[in-house]
Structure 1
Amino acid sequence: MEMTQTRQLPVAQQTAWEALNDTALLKQCIPGCESIEPDGDNAYLVALTAAVGPVKARFKGRMALQDIQAPDSYTIQFDGQGGVAGFGKGTAAVTLAPEGDATVLTYTVNAQVGGKIAQIGSRLVDAAARKMADTFFDRFTAAVSGSGEQGDEPGTDDNVAKDGAAAGEGSAPDEQNGETKRKRSWTAWISKS
């Protein structure tokens, strides 16, 4: 699988670089992320829960930053295991370029998947990867710009299951307009998918 995308971030390049290296912020923005723990210089152990089509699993893996050219670029090498669901491994080249007061982030991911995930077909795998990337960047952009509108917490993203049948949802009043908003946890969405 190969995926390339460009996103504009409404912050200066140095701010974007610092945010991309803030593990607490990344944990908050990565869909289904449970933990990101240091594992040596520029390396991290990651645990997350994800669903690709009918295959749902908890993945554990390692990600290492290489070819670091602060604040312009780095390469992420990743390798994750999801038990019987399969595995994923590959690289992601990330570059940042200033554009006025904003920053243009471009990434190219080259990945391989195996196991049950590979059996469901490349179209579903690609669609799930793009959806995860879009959710991550929506959350990341909101977090770095300070807007807080794009689902900073798990479960507030509009892409979460819309039929209201997800387990673990609750109601919370929306203080801005007096309506009741439903909040769903990512684990409830993932287990329902």
Structure 2
Amino acid sequence: MKMSDTRQIAAAPADVYAALLNPEVLKACVPGATEVSGDSENGFEATVVQKVGPVKATFKGQVTLSDMIENESLTITGEGKGGAAGFAKGGAEVRMRPSETGTELSYDVEAKVGGKLAQLGSRIIDGFAKRMADQFFTNLQDTLEGPSDEAEDDADAPAKKGWLGRLTGKE
């Protein structure tokens, strides 16, 4: 299964790149992630709980980063085992370039599954993989930009800052 997409993120390429190297940001962005530890040099270990069709599994796996060009691009490769449910592996080539609104982020994702998951059929798997990738990059965008204007409609709601603002204490 392969897919590609492009997103506009209202943050500088350096901030987007730094976010992709931060285990706390990755934990917040990966749908179903319960644990992410490690670093960009040695790789990350992750635990993700997901339900694909009728199959629910806890995947434990490794994520490595390669082909890293600071503030421009990187390749994310991961593999996880979900016990009797099977395995999932894949990767994403992520590219960032400055745009008028911040960063144009584009990605190409490829994913493969085996075991019980593979028996569900390609339509279910392809739809699930697309939703996972879309949700990851939506979560990344929300983490970097803070809440959308629609989320700020409630004037009494406390202001939320993007991840960089929360870490530095400024917006």
Distance across 2 between alignment mates of 1:139 and 1:148: 12
- What TM-score comes out, normalization by structure 1 length? 0.73
- Count of residue pairs brought into register by the alignment: 155
Farther-moved stretch of structure 1 (38-47 vs 83-92): 38-47
Distance across 2 between alignment mates of 1:99 and 1:38: 31
Check conservation: 1:29, 1:136, Cα contact below 8 A: yes
1:76-115, Cα deviation, whole Å (9 max, x unpaired): 1211100110101122111111112321111111222100
| Greater helix content | 2
Check conservation: 2:23, 2:39, Cα contact below 8 A: no
Check conservation: 2:33, 2:48, Cα contact below 8 A: yes
Q: Indicate the residue corresponding to 2:168 in structure 1.
A: none
**Local SS of the residue matching 2:133:** helix
Distance across 2 between alignment mates of 1:79 and 1:100: 35
> Percent identity among equivalent residues?
40
Q: 1:32 and 1:117, CA in 2 relative to 1: closer, same or farther beyond 3 A?
A: same
Q: 1:150 and 1:90, CA in 2 relative to 1: closer, same or farther beyond 3 A?
A: farther
Residue 138 of structure 1, CA deviation: 2.1
Q: 1:5 and 1:84, CA in 2 relative to 1: closer, same or farther beyond 3 A?
A: same
In structure 2, stretches of 5+ residues that fail to align are 157-171
Q: Indicate the residue corresponding to 1:46 in structure 2.
A: 46
Residue 65 of structure 1, CA deviation: 0.4
Q: Indicate the residue corresponding to 2:18 in structure 1.
A: 18
Check conservation: 1:139, 1:150, Cα contact below 8 A: no
Q: Indicate the residue corresponding to 2:75 in structure 1.
A: 75
Distance across 1 between alignment mates of 2:42 and 2:7: 24
Residue 34 of structure 1, CA deviation: 0.7
Q: Indicate the residue corresponding to 2:58 in structure 1.
A: 58
In structure 1, stretches of 5+ residues that fail to align are 152-175, 179-193
Residue 137 of structure 1, CA deviation: 2.1
Distance across 1 between alignment mates of 2:148 and 2:28: 12
Check conservation: 2:40, 2:64, Cα contact below 8 A: no
AA at the equivalent of 2:75: T
Distance across 1 between alignment mates of 2:149 and 2:27: 17
Q: Stretches of 4+ moved more than 3 A in 1? A: 148-151
Farther-moved stretch of structure 1 (19-28 vs 128-137): 128-137
Check conservation: 1:142, 1:150, Cα contact below 8 A: no
Q: Indicate the residue corresponding to 1:128 in structure 2.
A: 128
Q: 1:105 and 1:114, CA in 2 relative to 1: closer, same or farther beyond 3 A?
A: same
Check conservation: 1:138, 1:150, Cα contact below 8 A: no
1:17-74, Cα deviation, whole Å (9 max, x unpaired): 1111121011012111011111782401110001111111000000100111111111
Check conservation: 1:142, 1:149, Cα contact below 8 A: no
